[in-house]
Amino acid sequence: MTHGLIFPLMEALMIIHTNGWVHNLLLSLSRRAEQAEKDRLMLEDALGHAYEGLLITDAEGVILKVNDAYARFLETTIDKLVGRHVTEVIENTRMHLVAKSGVAEIAQLQKIKGHEMICSRIPIIENGKVVAVVGKVMFQNIEDLFTFTENFKKLKSELEFYKSELSKHLSAKYSFNHIVGTSKELEWVKELGRKVAMSTTTVLLKGESGTGKELFAHAIHNESPRKLGPFIKVNCAAIPETLFESELFGYREGAFTGAQKKGKKGKFALADKGTIFLDEISELPLTMQVKLLRVLQEKEIEPVGAEASEAVDVRIIAASNRDLETLVKNGLFRHDLYYRLNVVMLEIPPLRNRRDDIPLLIQFHLRQLEKETGIPVEGVEPDVAEILRQHDWPGNVRELRNVLEQALYVKVGPTISRNDIPGSLVKGGGTSSSQEAGRSLKFITRLAEEEAIRTAIREEKGDKQAAAVRLGISKSSLYAKVDQYNIGAIPK
């Protein structure tokens, strides 16, 4: 009787209704099982195809999983490794020790079968206990690491080279320490330069050719909060008038015939978040002066062919060896632009007004020239030092450096004597025949070439393209010579 009641009841309980809670529970468990199986297969597939050798042991050091790469490294097969203790199949292993300590060992050196390898051993911890240890071979042979390191060093060296080359064009090279001199006249200007460097105000550098205006521009940028930004130099006397706008402000694609397909960034855009140095700004055409004034007022530029203006954050440092006030009076320079530029003016004293700095400058430039030319020199003789100190130096520090460089090439002793410097510097007249005889053909040719270039530029009223044609050389060759001889703006 009892059995007759129980069995029908059990049969009723065994009936699982669709969408009932039991049915849904079973479906959920089934899905989880399927997903767990998929995850397991995926992990095993990843383990098998990994380039690095991978090994997993339990907390006792028994191998649970190993991939084919590790098995090949050990010169065996997976089935001969799984289930065995690591100490039985891997020499010098520490997997079981990491399982006991629970402390990971990263990038450790281990010798297996005569090969040095680098491996890591990482414990897997659950609820405070080590449940497994993962071993990973990073380099199957230490020589692989050396090869990798050498390749990395090579790439790093190439990167540093390109960064250095870029830095030469987009960064300032000099600081206030490069401005040699202790005279009161120079120290006052340097101190003012340091103060103004900390602001973002526009600076006007005034001084004769060769006094070091570019050095001050570099130093101000390097002392400023913008020192990590670009430092862009523009020689206004070297840009043809027809190219000024595109050079300074850039242009868009198809702006004019011959324009680059992707357009071109101008100097102001390149200087964004940094400093632009406009050297020889007195040579800026009136039409461009208007556009520069807008940049100063509105803090924006308009590239050639652009439909809208672009905002720029640029500090302007301008320099001139001509009296801008006189140019303003003569209608050659806009008075409103002049006042915008002349917020803070640094007037760099000529060398004749700080003669006490000349001995320091002689030693400084001789040391530099010695490195550049490879010609050893102990210094200048006392009478030469006095001659150089008494000279008026119309070309200032640049002229002094040129005289010292020329003297290095013609000197015969360890020091520079009277016979090694131009006769025009020696009291009592021109160069004697004995002095001319002591000079090399290279030196005489150098002087003649420099004078020819200066004459051609002067006669062509500063048009360097026309000067290059007159001299029968390319424009790029002319600019190279101009830089070599430090030829500044030639009065028109």
Report the CATH number that the domain containing residue 367 is assigned in CATH. Answer: 1.10.8.60
Q: Please determine, for residue 430, whether its predicted confidence score (pLDDT) is greater than 50.
A: no
Model confidence over 468-483: pLDDT tens digits?
A: 888 888 887 888 888 7
Residue that wins the pLDDT comparison between 339 and 11 = 339
Mean pLDDT of 65-73: 83
Lowest-confidence segment of 30-44, 70-84, 219-233 by average pLDDT: 30-44
Does a structural domain hold residue 479? yes
The answer to whether 295 and 268 are in contact (CB under 8 A) is: yes
Does a structural domain hold residue 408? yes
Per DSSP, the residues of 277-324 read EEETGGGS-HHHHHHHHHHHHHSEE--BT-SS-EE--EEEEEEESS-H
Structural tokens at position 207: 């001084």
Q: Is the same domain home to 326 and 195? A: yes
Q: Is the same domain home to 258 and 378? A: no
Residue 237 pLDDT level (bands cut at 50, 70, 90): confident
Predicted confidence at residue 437, as pLDDT, reads 41
Beta-ladder partners of 118: 109, 139
Predicted confidence at residue 277, as pLDDT, reads 95
- CA 152, 154, 157, 163 dihedral sign is negative
CATH number where 333 lies: 3.40.50.300
Which residue stretches of 178-241 are H helix?
184-197, 213-223
Structural tokens at position 297: 């007022």
The answer to whether 120 and 138 are in contact (CB under 8 A) is: yes
Predicted confidence at residue 467, as pLDDT, reads 86
Question: Three-state SS string across 5-47, please?
Answer: HHHHHHHHHHCCCCCCHHHHHHHHHHHHHHHHHHHHHHHHHHH
Q: Is the same domain home to 333 and 410? A: no
Q: Is the same domain home to 206 and 331? A: yes
> In sequence order, which residues have a C-beta less than 8 Å from that of residue 449 and are 6 or more positions away?
481, 485
Does a structural domain hold residue 51? yes
Does a structural domain hold residue 161? no
Predicted confidence at residue 164, as pLDDT, reads 57
Q: Is residue 235 within a helix (H) or strand (E), and if so which, with residue range? A: strand 231-235
Task: Fill in the amino acid letter for 38.
Answer: K
C-alpha–C-alpha distance, residues 378 and 413, integer Å? 9
> In sequence order, which residues have a C-beta less than 8 Å from that of residue 415 and are 6 or more positions away?
377, 378, 379, 380, 381
Q: At 289, phi and psi to the nearest 5?
A: -60, -35
Q: Is the same domain home to 314 and 359? A: no
SS3 breakdown of the chain: % helix, strand, coil, rounded to 5?
Answer: 50, 15, 30
Q: Is the same domain home to 277 and 208? A: yes
Model confidence over 115-125: pLDDT tens digits?
A: 777 888 989 88
C-alpha–C-alpha distance, residues 249 and 294, integer Å? 12
C-alpha–C-alpha distance, residues 174 and 218, integer Å? 5
Does a structural domain hold residue 157? no
Q: Is the same domain home to 218 and 299? A: yes
Q: Of 327, 349, 371, which residue sits at a domain end?
A: 349
How many CB atoms lie under 10 A from the CB of residue 72? 13
Structural tokens at position 413: 């002793």
Residue 309 pLDDT level (bands cut at 50, 70, 90): confident
Model confidence over 135-152: pLDDT tens digits?
A: 888 765 545 545 655 666
Residue 428 pLDDT level (bands cut at 50, 70, 90): very low
Q: Is the same domain home to 193 and 312? A: yes
> In sequence order, which residues have a C-beta less than 8 Å from that of residue 21 and are 6 or more positions away?
none
C-alpha–C-alpha distance, residues 55 and 81, integer Å? 10
Model confidence over 328-347: pLDDT tens digits?
A: 999 999 999 999 999 999 99
CB-based burial label for 434 (10 Å; 0-12, 13-18, 19+): exposed
- Structural domain of residue 424, as residue ranges? 353-484
Predicted confidence at residue 478, as pLDDT, reads 84
Does a structural domain hold residue 22? no
Predicted confidence at residue 492, as pLDDT, reads 43
Q: Is the same domain home to 324 and 472? A: no
Mean pLDDT of 374-380: 91
Residue 316 pLDDT level (bands cut at 50, 70, 90): very high
Q: Of 333, 349, 365, which residue sits at a domain end?
A: 349
Number of domains in the chain: 3
Q: Is the same domain home to 89 and 192? A: no
Q: Of 124, 139, 154, which residue sits at a domain end?
A: 139
Model confidence over 399-418: pLDDT tens digits?
A: 999 999 989 988 888 999 88
Structural tokens at position 315: 């500090």
Lowest-confidence segment of 218-227, 289-298, 354-363, 455-464 by average pLDDT: 455-464
Residue that wins the pLDDT comparison between 256 and 211 = 211
Does a structural domain hold residue 21? no
Q: Is the same domain home to 438 and 294? A: no
Model confidence over 129-138: pLDDT tens digits?
A: 999 999 888 7
Q: Is the same domain home to 325 and 368? A: no
CATH number where 101 lies: 3.30.450.20
Does a structural domain hold residue 446? yes
Q: Please determine, for residue 47, whether its predicted confidence score (pLDDT) is greater than 70.
A: no
Burial code (b: 16+ CB inside 10 Å, e: under 16) for 54-63 equals bbbbbbebbb
**Nearest CA-CA partner of 231 in 265, 293, 276:** 276
CA atoms within 13 A on the CB side of 342: 15
